[in-house]
Amino acid sequence: GIIGGITGGGDGGPLGPITGIIGGITGGDLGNNPVTGVIQTGIDILQGVESLKTEIINTGINTVADTIIGVFPQAEHPVGDLA
Question: Where do the structural domains in the chain lie, given as residue ranges?
Answer: 1-33, 34-83
Average pLDDT score over residue span 54-67: 77
CA distance 14 to 36: 20
Residue 9 identity (one-letter amino acid): G
| pLDDT at res. 52 | 79
Q: Has residue 80 got a pLDDT over 60?
A: no
In this predicted model, which residue has the larger pLDDT, 81 or 4? 81
- How confident is the model over 2-59, as pLDDT tens digits? 444 444 444 455 555 555 555 554 445 444 556 666 677 777 777 777 887 888 777 8
Residue 18 identity (one-letter amino acid): I
CA distance 25 to 33: 9
79 in Cβ contact with 69 (< 8 Å): yes
| pLDDT at res. 48 | 77
Element (DSSP H or E) covering residue 42: helix 35-71
